[in-house]
Amino acid sequence: MSVAEVKNNLILKVLQTEDKAVLEYLTEYFQSLLAEKDWWDELTLAQKAFIERSSQQIDEGKVIPHAEVRAKMHELLNKRKEMADA
């Protein structure tokens, strides 16, 4: 896909959306990209520490697969719904 085609697709999507929150998010996102700032420098120390801890946990294999988390949440939500229906 050419640059012109990508631009046209983006323009069409922007014109078709009426969701103000999406448009505001896109505006902020483009502004941050064009500011040429490194997103890492914008994070708080707590956010950086959280990311570093998370990265270490991934390296150590201390993760739960996404499919497993979705299945567990589905199970919990179904139980909650059953309790509410009872």
Question: Hey, is 35 helix, strand or coil?
Answer: coil
Give the separation between CA 25 and CA 50, rounded to whole angstroms.
Answer: 24
- Model pLDDT, residue 74: 94
- The domain limits of the chain are 1-36, 39-86
pLDDT at residue 19 above 80? yes
The DSSP line for 11-28 is: HHHHHH---HHHHHHHHH
Model confidence over 52-85: pLDDT tens digits?
999 999 999 999 999 999 999 999 999 887 888 8
